[in-house]
C-alpha cells in the first residue's frame, strides 16, 4: 500500500456550487431554508474540514415537499405521454454527460470516493438512464380471457402509484439516486428525496440539473436533514404512497414500522455480509484482485461487499500471499487525487466503528495479517485507514457475522464445496456472493446452493439494470432493475368492459 496527499482542489464549476453559504431544500422548483432555520454541516472525509452547510429539514418541510409532489402528480405532469417522458430522460442523460465531471468533484469531496473510482461509474449511470428511458415506453397491461357470461372484455392497466419517498444512502448518492429518479420519471410518479445527512450535496445539485433539463417543478423535490427527523417524517407520511430505501438493516426496520401508517409498499436494499468463494481450481490471477476489490472498492462501503472470503484449504497459503502482494499496489489518497485507488471512509464515527472491529477480531482470535491502523502524518485530519486483512477467521466470529462497512477482509478456509455453501448460508444476510472456479459444474452448484439475491461467477460486483439485483433474508426485498423494478412505481388496475 502506498499513500499520497497532494495539494488538490475541485474544478471551477464544483467550487462555485460548494461555495454557497447554505444549500437549501429544493421544493416545487424553488430553494427554501428549513422551516426551523437550522442547518447541518458536511465534512470532507479527506481533510476533516467542514465542506458546506445545508438545511436541516424536518416534518413541516417534508409536509411541504409532499404537498408539492402531490400537486405535480395531479397536475400537467399526469398528461405527459410516454414519449414525452422518454424525451425528458434523454435530455437529462445528455446534460448529466456534460456536467459529470462537476458532479463527481462534488461527490468526491462530500463522501470521499476517489475520482478514479467515480469516473469509472459513468458508464453505469448512462446505462441506468438508458434503461429507464426505454421503460418509459414499455409500460403495458394485458388483455385477459375471462369466464364471465356475455360479451365482456377484460384487461389490466398499469398506472403510476403516486408520490414516492426516496431515502438515499451516503456511500454513493450520485448514482444511487437514479434508481429512484429514473423510475419516477419513466412511470409518471413524483418524488420527495431525502439524502443521507453525511452526503447530500450531489443529490441537491442533480435536482437543480433536472430542472435545467426541463423536469417540471414539484416532480422531484429534495429535503435534506437527519434521518430521525426528515427521514422518519417521510417514511411515516400518510400522503406518500411508496418508499424506496437503501441503507442499514437497522434503519430498514424503523422504516418498515413508520410505513404502517398507510401500509406503504417498500423497496428495501439493506445490509449484507456476502461470501466470496475461491475454489482450489480458481484462476488466481483474476480471483485475487477480484476478491480484493470486492472489499476495498469504495473503502469497503458497499452493501454487497464480499467481506467473507472463503478459500479452499489447499490454496489458502498461496491466495493469502498473493492477496497481500496485491494490496501493496493499492494507493490510498485524497479523493481528488487522480492516482488514488482508495479514499477515506465517510466520517470520524464510521472510522471509529471500523477500527473497533479490528480490536474485536483480534480479541476473538483472528490474525491481523495487514493493516488495522488509522493513517497519520499528512492523513491525520482525514478519515483514512489502512486496508486490512484477517486470517484464521471462523464464521462464529463477529467480524464474520456483522456488517463492518469498511476496508476489512476476512479469509476463511473451507474443505469442500458443501462446506463453503453451508458457511455462506450461515448468515442472516442474503444480498450478494461469488464463486471463482474453472469448473462450470462446481460454479453452478454454488450458485444454486447459496441463498442470496445476486451471485457472480469469476467476477464480482457487476450490476446491469437489464439483469437487476435484489436481496433476501435481512438484506431486504424489492428488485432493482428489470421490469420488476418498475412494478414498485406502478399499480395494476383490472378492467371489465361490458359491450
Q: Looking at the annotation, which residues are catalytic?
A: 269, 303
Closest alpha carbon to 294 in 314, 308, 280: 308
Count CA atoms closer than 13 A to 130's CA, side-chain side. 10
Let me know if 115 is exposed, middle or buried by CB neighbors in 10 A (0-12, 13-18, 19+).
buried
Distance CA(333)–CA(1), nearest Å, equals: 11
Closest alpha carbon to 276 in 438, 401, 458, 408: 458
Closest alpha carbon to 408 in 382, 372, 453, 442: 372
Report which DSSP code applies to 228: I
Cell of 412: 476463511
Number of H helices, E strands in the chain: 16, 24
Q: Contact at 8 Å (CB) between 435 and 443?
A: yes
Amino acid at each position: 500500500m502506498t499513500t499520497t496527499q497532494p495539494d488538490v482542489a475541485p474544478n471551477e464549476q464544483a467550487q462555485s456550487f460548494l461555495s454557497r453559504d447554505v444549500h437549501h431544500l429544493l421544493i416545487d422548483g424553488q430553494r427554501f431554508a428549513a422551516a426551523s432555520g437550522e442547518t447541518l454541516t458536511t465534512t470532507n472525509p479527506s481533510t476533516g474540514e467542514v465542506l458546506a452547510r445545508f438545511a436541516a429539514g424536518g416534518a413541516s418541510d417534508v409536509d411541504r415537499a409532499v404537498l408539492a409532489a402531490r400537486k405535480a402528480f395531479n397536475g400537467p405532469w399526469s398528461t405527459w405521454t410516454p414519449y414525452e417522458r422518454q424525451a425528458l430522460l434523454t435530455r437529462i442523460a445528455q446534460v448529466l454527460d456534460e456536467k459529470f465531471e462537476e458532479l463527481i468533484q462534488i461527490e468526491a469531496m462530500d463522501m470521499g470516493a476517489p475520482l478514479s473510482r467515480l469516473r469509472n461509474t459513468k458508464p453505469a449511470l448512462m446505462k441506468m438512464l438508458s434503461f429507464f428511458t426505454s421503460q418509459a415506453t414499455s409500460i403495458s397491461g394485458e388483455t385477459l380471457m375471462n369466464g364471465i357470461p356475455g360479451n365482456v372484455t377484460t384487461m389490466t392497466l398499469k398506472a403510476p402509484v403516486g408520490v414516492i419517498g426516496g431515502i438515499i444512502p451516503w456511500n454513493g448518492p450520485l448514482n444511487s439516486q437514479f434508481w429512484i429518479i429514473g423510475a419516477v420519471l419513466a412511470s409518471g410518479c413524483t418524488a420527495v428525496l431525502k439524502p443521507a445527512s453525511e452526503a447530500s450535496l450531489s443529490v441537491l445539485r442533480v435536482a437543480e440539473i433536472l430542472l435545467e433539463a426541463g423536469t417540471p417543478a414539484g416532480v422531484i423535490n429534495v429535503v435534506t436533514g437527519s434521518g430521525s427527523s426528515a427521514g422518519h417524517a417521510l417514511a411515516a407520511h400518510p400522503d406518500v404512497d411508496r418508499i424506496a430505501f437503501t441503507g442499514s438493516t437497522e434503519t430498514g426496520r424503523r422504516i418498515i414500522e413508520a410505513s404502517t401508517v398507510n401500509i406503504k409498499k417498500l423497496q428495501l436494499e439493506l445490509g449484507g455480509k456476502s461470501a466470496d468463494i475461491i475454489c482450489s481450481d480458481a484462476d488466481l490471477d483474476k480471483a485475487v484482485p477480484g476478491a480484493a476489490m470486492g472489499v476495498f472498492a469504495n473503502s469497503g462501503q458497499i452493501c454487497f461487499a464480499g467481506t467473507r472470503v472463503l478459500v479452499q484449504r489447499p490454496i489458502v497459503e498461496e491466495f493469502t500471499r498473493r492477496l497481500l502482494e496485491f494490496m501493496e499496489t493499492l494507493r490510498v489518497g485524497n479523493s481528488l487525487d487522480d492516482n488514488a485507488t482508495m479514499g477515506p471512509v465517510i466520517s470520524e464515527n464510521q472510522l471509529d466503528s471500523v477500527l473497533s472491529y479490528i480490536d474485536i477480531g483480534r480479541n476473538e482470535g483472528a490474525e491481523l495479517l495487514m493493516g488495522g491502523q488509522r493513517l497519520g502524518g499528512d492523513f491525520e485530519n482525514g478519515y483514512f485507514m489502512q486496508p486490512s486483512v484477517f486470517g484464521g477467521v471462523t464464521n462464529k466470529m463477529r467480524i464474520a457475522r456483522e456488517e463492518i462497512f469498511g476496508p476489512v477482509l476476512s479469509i476463511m478456509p473451507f474443505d469442500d464445496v458443501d462446506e463453503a455453501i453451508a458457511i455462506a448460508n450461515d448468515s442472516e444476510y442474503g444480498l450478494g456472493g461469488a464463486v471463482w472456479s474453472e469448473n462450470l459444474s462446481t460454479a453452478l452448484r454454488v450458485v444454486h446452493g447459496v441463498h442470496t439475491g445476486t451471485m457472480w461467477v469469476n467476477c464480482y460486483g457487476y450490476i446491469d439494470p437489464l439483469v437487476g439485483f435484489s436481496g433476501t433474508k435481512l438484506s431486504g426485498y424489492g428488485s432493482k432493475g428489470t421490469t420488476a423494478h418498475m412494478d414498485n412505481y406502478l399499480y395494476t388496475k383490472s378492467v371489465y368492459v361490458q359491450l
